[in-house]
Amino acid sequence: MTTHEVTVHSGPQPQPSSTLDSEANSLFEAVGGAPTFERIVERFYEGVATDPVLRPMYPADLTAGKRHLALFLMQYFGGPTTYSQERGHPRLRMRHVPFTIGQAERDAWMQHMTTAVDAENFPEPVHSAFMEYFNRAATFLINQ
């Protein structure tokens, strides 16, 4: 039985240092690459689209947001750097400053992201690596 060690830096940085005791070079590759992240983001936005707390914070057309989030997550977890090439440094706090983010918004965001990640049925420690990052990032963005 092979064990996997995954180390993801604290704080929302553009790319983590991910180490897996396997043939994969990154968590991005280990979970199946772009299609996996696109599924996670699509499921997440399905929740956002009907959420009374979060929906008012998003524009009417969610297409650009979906793309940005997918590219960011792919890059963060060791995939292509398309996000930074197109949008520059992630600057998560700066990009979220215009929005009132309190505990209720953080919790609603986490609920939808947890549902999206859980649907992938990732093994440990992969599931934990995702959830630890999302918990840290969502808490980091609270500004109220």
Domain ranges in the chain are: 27-140
Cα–Cα dist 38/133, whole Å:
17
What are the structure tokens assigned to 132, written together? 């630890």
Task: Give the distance, in angstroms, between the CA of residue 35 and the centroid of all CA atoms in the same chain.
Answer: 14
pLDDT in tens, the chain (144 residues): 333 333 333 334 333 333 333 334 699 999 999 999 999 999 999 999 999 999 999 999 999 999 999 999 999 999 999 999 999 988 988 888 899 999 999 999 999 999 999 999 999 999 999 999 999 999 999 999
How far from 140 is each of 2, 29, 61, 73, CA to CA, in Å?
33, 26, 26, 16
Q: Is domain 27-140 in CATH 3.30.70.250, yes or no? A: no
The pTM of the full predicted model, rounded to 2 decimals, is 0.82
Q: How far apart are the first and last CA of the chain?
A: 46
Q: State whether residue 116 is helix, strand or coil.
A: helix
Cα–Cα dist 125/84, whole Å:
27
